[in-house]
Structure 1
Amino acid sequence: MATSRTNSEAVVQVDLEATVRRSSRNVLTPTRFQYSPEIATAINKKRTATTTTTHNDKKRQNSRKDVENSAVECTSGGHAGLSSYELERLENIRQNQAFLSSINLFQATEELKQVTRPKPSKRRLIRSQTAIEKGVTVRKSLRLQSLTLPPKPGERQLYRLDSTEDRKIELDLKEYCSALKNMTKTENRVAKVLKKRLVTAAFHPCTSSLLMATGNTLGNVALWKLDSDWGNDGVLRFEPHALAVACIAFSRAHPTHLLSLSRDGSLRCMDVQKAVFDDVYDSEEQLRTFDFLSHDCTSLVVGHFNGKVAIVDRRTPGNSHESIHSLKYTHSLLCVSVHPLQKQYFAVAENKIVNIYDSRYLKKKKKSKTVSRLHGYSLSIHSAYFSPRTGNRVLTSCNDGYIRIYDTSAVTKKAPLLTSIKHKMQTASYKIKVSAVWDPKREDCFVVGSTPKPHSVKVFHESGKLLHSFVDRDNVTSELYVTALHPTRNALLGGNGSGQLHVFSD
């Protein structure tokens, strides 16, 4: 399969390198681990020049390979014959690997193996039972044999909760609000992880420690482990991209994998344990977003800024896509979200509308048809997310100043609107958009940054009720517009325009 870029063009030239792992896909040479203003200035100057593959470049690459080979040899023997540069590089690699080992991601992998997939909701079970009673033959996807399809349009049913279930929900919310109130911030829970504005951030799903990843407008990626004694601030910094990191996520199937997508057209996967970047996908067009299209996280749907979506399979050699498709209504795409259970469905924020598509019926030459549409917008939508446990809701954020929640428990041509909440979705600069995101531990609560002073992060119930506000008048002096909640622990992160991450936890 032809690749859209050569491997030499994808490599970021840096001063200090880590061990490079060879794989069937193109590999991106990892950048330095220790941040230095002098090195950063030199790298920024290099970015302004156009790089081409020359005979000298190949010589330098061969020389780099020789250094790597000598580094491997010296791990089991002496250091005789190595230059001062090679000795310094070996020491950096040793320090970096010691820190990464301290993160205990292998332990996190074992923890996640104990976590089962979300159980189907009662609505879904009732719907399935109804189909069985009527004798309806349930079709199964060839790719996802374990999943059942939702009812056809027009078969949507309404289910009412009895008083006992209502009471349980009320008590559950009280416990949830109590847990939110116990989440506080101390001096050691704030760090300047990167220079310039943060764009995206995510928690690692492990429970033994709080490990976070974030990306900024310069294409930098940072890993921060809370309460770490490594270095001065416990932060590892990388430069795998040339432009802003628009989307970042840890793989739940492979917890040591961190995927980052940039507007420079590159999608990378970092092996956090080994400090290696793989070149997953490259495009000549700007990329905007991605999500995992399979439970094992090997298949992805990647959103192009020009409105196209690419299907990428990481098991296929090369760094190109399996297929690329034009959507029905969009000229620009800002967000894509895959259904948590029925992975063939994904929602897309397209201009002034949100559409749901079925990946099995995407067209290559013609514009693809929608499965469902979410109406009611007057301005562009910059985010749309399926609820994390069942996918029975879609949470959207729009420039018209409203957060909306739609009922997607059944796939209908027009998904009904459940809740509309007035909320300022722009910061003081008017270039940064605030997006509401679900709490991954729940089906009915979400978090969003609040721009009016005092700056805070608010937690809402799907009904529109404000449950809690996280406020730190002394330390939070700017909008925390990048937000995320931990998948299993009571922890929240907020990122701002100066490269700071703030953490509230119990």
Structure 2
Amino acid sequence: MVRASPAAGLSRRQPFISDFFNRTPNPGQGPNHPRPSPLKGAKKTNPEFKLAAGNAHESGPKLLRTSPRQPTPTANQGPPPGTLKAHEGHMVGVSPLPTSSLSVEAQAKRSNQREVLKQYPLSTMVWAKFSKYPPWPALVSADPISQMTYDNEEDWLHVLFLDDPPTRAWVPLEGVEIMKLSSLSEESSGKKPRGRWAQALIRAKKRAIQVLKQGLPQRRKFLLTLEKNIMNGSKDSEDSAPDVHEIAEGDEERENQSPKVNRKRKKNASKRDMKGKRLKRDPSPVNSLEETTTPSHGEENGLSEYELIRLKNIEARQKMFAELEIGQLKKSLSDSFSQIKSYNASQRGLAAKKDKAEDLPRRQSLRLKKIDADTGLQLPDKEPTTYVLPDEHPRQALAPLGLSDLLTEAGEEGSKLTTSRRFLESLEETLRKPVTNNNSSFGTDFKDTSAALSKLQIKPEQVAKVVPDRIFSLDIHPTEDKLLVAVGGKWGGLGLWDVKDVDSASNGVHLFMPHSRPVNCLSFDTFQCNRLISTSYDGTVRALDVQQQRVNLLYGDENDSVYTCYHRQIDAHTFVVALGNSGDAAIIDTRKDNREFSSRFSVARSGSVKTVDIHPCLPEKLLTTTSRGDCQIFDIRSTKTSTHGVLPTWLDLTGHTKALSSAFFSPVKGSSIVTVSYDNKLRLYKSWGSSASISPYSSIDHNNQTGRWLSTFKARWHPRRDDLFFVGCMSHPRQINAYSDQGFQYPSLMGEDLGSICSIVVSHPSQDIVVGGNSSGRVHVFM
């Protein structure tokens, strides 16, 4: 049975040698039993001490400590006064002192003690309830420390449980019930017990039936054998729980056992000694039953075998205490401790200055101080209905911003301002040149494109952190003199990276802060290549003019009532802008007031507008996507509105079951449309149809579940091809996917230096270059 010793959890736990030497005496022992002093390390290193302690531990460590109410026996003392002789009924634990010398209360306790011991004599089979265990078969036995079976003070009874191996404990008398063979047989024949201790309880009941069938002499012999095995420290179930029938047949059968069994037991004993690293014990204490079976003078006086073993063990231990000279050691240690005096510092000379106690204000809770626990702000006397938290990223002024207003930190008017100015001057010389190469990159057919994509590589110097946080937008300047990448960040950062600049301190990276919210769309001006148009969630559309080295405001809402999320250029002066959760789109004319829209119209009955796009050949055709899964084409020339105030739908692209993140026309002829949806599909549509709604002509399975911490995927066409587009990928190893307009997949872009998901992907119009941005602000360039 696997459980802790029943004595665990009680104040009467089983003691060890250290407990004996460090215990404190009970005040009730009186002055005749002086307190033994702790030995500390005085004599524990003595080999004789170690040998004697080992002998005492193996012969029965539980007998080294006396009961809290029993004095330690001396060499000249006989059995302690708590032992009753055999002719008095074998009721161990009753003192034979004359009752005339006791008080009335003590006589009443002694009478109660005799009544209990008459009811529960030694080796009585009982049901004992200990702690949280179920009632368990047990034998009434004597405590090896105090030699008592009943504690009159605590009203406890000492029992030995029929475990495997056996265990002992003091249990309350109210939890003890005498066991009867008839009730045990009826209970064993009924329902079997269930639970953690079911199997162990069944075995204990079987053993209890065997014990109950034996007579009182055989039962006491069985108890004696169990006590002997416990004192010897046996851990084998065969030795600790002997068979009752073997005990009843007598000691002669045990002596006549086969040599093979004896050899096996000796072998097991030697293994236990090696495992526990025990010392060889002195054969002087009586530990075997064979030594007590011969008639002795004690048996002639009526003592039982159990009491003979106990008396001989007491005598052996008293000899050991005398050899160890415990009394002398106690006295010497007590004298040495009494000579140690406490140290008092000298008071002569200068008096030590005492530090004055700091007068601290009375502590109060944040509620009493009227401070908000979340924000740390001082609360007004009256609880407000709304709170206005300080904005860590305030919006820039709705005016043109100089170069000093765009730098990220205060005090950068010096070196960084000069560096940024020189960088923009070098860009202005390059970007003023017109782009004359109208050829497209990556070949002309599927085979050439596959071969060109397979040759692309990424190296460590082609990866850089351009913005400090997540990337929301990307674009590449079409020039071939420089490889200039523009990056829009989460908190309004606009980064420019000259990829081929590997010698400067910043590796060609320069950061500006024209916005205060995510820059969701970036594009170089198609008609003025030295301008970079940016649209942000802060409700502004701005243009970075490299030649003027400032940022101009194209649109800004003073009330900050709407947020702009995407734009597309219609001509040199007009842009169409998506107005987010309002469900509207608006036209911005840079020749008019930058605080007002040229026109505004509703394109979504419900939900927010995600992206907008203009047909490359038909600029009046507007493509929109919404968070409700709607993808529609409108004619912005129409002045009519539907019953819900929404522009009439020119063409409805059906099939989406969840929200869309992007939809774009093919850039050359606008014949195809690619959409990205949260239903894990990439869909390809024709941009025209004979009916008001069309279905996709191709659908591609693609994991688009970017989650909360990644930017959403946006499939972007090659700037000069209608048969090639790129999109990010969630697969391992990390890669960038490329597809044709028919849904065929090209070789994916991957490498050792691409270790994250690139949500935003763009390509160079005339060079075999693909750029991807991840959610930590890093840009990866394949070339």
TM-score scaled by structure 2? 0.46
Distance 1:249 1:343 in 2: 17
| In structure 1, C-alpha distance between the alignment counterparts of 2:420 and 2:739, rounded to whole Å | 40
Residue 264 of structure 1 aligns to a residue whose secondary structure is: coil
Q: Which residue of 2 aligns with 1:251?
A: 525
The answer to whether residue 668 in structure 2 is matched with residue 389 in structure 1 is yes
Of the three residues 452, 464, 475, the one matched with 1:179 is 452
Structure 2 match to 1:421: 700
State the partner residue of 1:499: 777
Q: Secondary structure at the match of 2:435?
A: helix
- After superposition, residues 87-98 of structure 1 pair within 5 angstroms as 89=413, 92-98=416-422
Match of 2:476 among 185, 203, 206: 203
CA distance in 1, matches of 2:639, 2:495: 35
Find the aligned partners of 1:182 and 1:278 in 2 and give their Cα distance: 41
Instruction: Give the deviation of 1:328 after TM superposition.
Output: 4.5
Residue 583 of structure 2 is aligned to residue 260 of structure 1: no
Are the aligned partners of 2:395 and 2:515 in contact in 1 as well (CA < 8 Å)? Answer: no
Residues 451-470 of structure 1: pairs in structure 2 closer than 5 A: 451-470=730-749
AA in 2 matched with 1:305: G
- Write the letter of the residue equivalent to 2:608: S
Tell me the residue number matched to 2:576.
Answer: 301
2:715 is aligned with 1:447: no
User: Could you tell me which residue of structure 1 aligns to residue 609 of structure 2?
Assistant: 333
CA offsets 1:61-113 (integer angstroms, 9 cap, x no match): xxxxxxxxxxxxxxxxxxxxxxxx8xx8476554333222323x454443326
Verify: 1:110 aligned to 2:433, yes or no: yes
CA drift of 1:483 comes to 0.8
Instruction: Assess if the C-alpha contact under 8 Å between 1:435 and 1:481 holds in 2.
Output: yes
Contact persistence 1:269–1:280 (CA under 8 A): yes
Structure showing greater radius of gyration is 2
Q: Which residue does the alignment assign to 2:400?
A: 27
Q: For residue 12 of structure 1, what is the aligned residue in structure 2? A: 396
TM-superposed CA distance for 1:428, in Å, is 5.3
Deviation track 1:399-432 (CA, whole Å, cap 9, x = no partner) reads 0000001011557522342110000012254763
Query: Are the equivalent residues in 2 in contact too, given 1:268–1:280 (CA < 8 A)?
Result: yes
Structure 2 vs 1, CA of residues 466 and 98 (structure 1 numbering), >3 Å: closer, same or farther?
Answer: same
The residue number in structure 2 matching 1:148 is none
1:343 maps to which residue? 619
Greater displacement, 395-404 / 180-189: 180-189
Cα-to-partner distance string for 1:221-253 (whole Å, 9 max, x where unaligned): 100011213432211101111111111111111
Q: 1:441 deviation in Å?
A: 2.3
CA distance in 1, matches of 2:524, 2:748: 27
Q: Quote the Cα distance in structure 2 between the aligned partners of 1:280 and 1:273.
A: 17
Equivalent in the alignment of 1:269: 543
Which structure is richer in relative contact order (CA contacts within 8 A, separation 6 or more)?
1
Equivalent residue of 2:743, what SS?
Answer: coil
Aligned counterparts of 1:170 and 1:34: Cα–Cα separation in 2: 41
**Aligned residue in 1 for 2:35:** none
Query: Structure 2: 5+ residue runs without aligned partners?
Result: 1-392
Partner residue, 2:563: 286
- SS state of the match for residue 649, structure 2? coil
Contact 1:291–1:301 at 8 Å: present in 2 too? yes
Change (3 A) 1:346 1:97: same
Q: Which sections of structure 1, spanning at least 5 residues, go unmatched?
A: 1-8, 14-24, 43-84, 119-168
CA distance in 2, matches of 1:335, 1:483: 16
Q: Is the 8 A contact 2:672 2:741 kept in 1?
A: no
1:312 maps to which of 584, 588, 592: 588
State the one-letter code of the partner of 2:548: K
Distance change >3 Å, CA 385–CA 405, structure 1 → 2? same
Are residues 239 and 210 of structure 1, via their aligned partners in 2, closer, same or farther at CA, if it must alter by over 3 Å? same
Alignment correspondent of 2:246? none
1:471 to 2:750 alignment: yes
Tell me the residue number matched to 2:629: 352
The letter of the residue matching 1:375 is T
- Structure 1 position 361 matched with structure 2 position 638: yes
User: Following TM superposition, by how much is the alpha carbon of 1:11 offset from its aligned partner in structure 2, in angstroms?
Assistant: 7.0
Q: Distance in 2 between matches of 1:366 and 1:106?
A: 49
Q: Which amino acid is 2:425 matched to? A: S
Find 1:407's aligned residue among 663, 686, 693.
686
How far apart are the structure 2 equivalents of 1:450 and 1:338? 26
2: CA distance, partners of 1:326 / 1:445: 32
Rounded Cα–Cα distance in structure 2 between residues aligned with 1:299 and 1:378: 33
Distance 1:442 1:372, change over 3 A: same
TM-score (norm 1): 0.70
- Pairwise CA distance, 1:12: 3.0
- Counterpart of 2:766 (choices 444, 463, 488) is 488
CA contact (8 A) 1:395 1:436 kept: yes
Counterpart Cα distance in 1 of 2:603 and 2:526: 28
Q: Where does residue 156 of structure 1 map in the other structure?
A: none
Query: Whose helix proportion is higher, 1 or 2?
Result: 2
One of 473, 490, 502 as aligned partner of 1:217: 490
Q: Deviations over 1:292-320 (max 9, x none)?
A: 122x2x10110011211111001213332
Q: Structure 1, residues 138-175: CA drift from partner, whole Å, max 9, x if none? A: xxxxxxxxxxxxxxxxxxxxxxxxxxxxxxx9972211
SS of the residue corresponding to residue 102 of structure 1 reads: helix
Q: Distance in 1 between the 2:735 and 2:563 partners?
A: 32
Q: Distance in 2 between matches of 1:200 and 1:244?
A: 9
How far the C-alpha of 1:358 sits from its partner, in A, is 1.2
Q: How many residues align?
A: 382
Q: CA separation in 1, counterparts of 2:678 and 2:687?
A: 22
Show the counterpart of 2:284: none
Q: Distance in 1 between matches of 2:546 and 2:443?
A: 41
Q: Does the aligned pair in 1 maintain the 2:403–2:417 contact within 8 Å? A: no
Which one of the candidate residues 636, 640, 650 is aligned to 1:371?
A: 650
* Separation (CA, whole Å) in 2 of partners of 1:498 and 1:93: 25
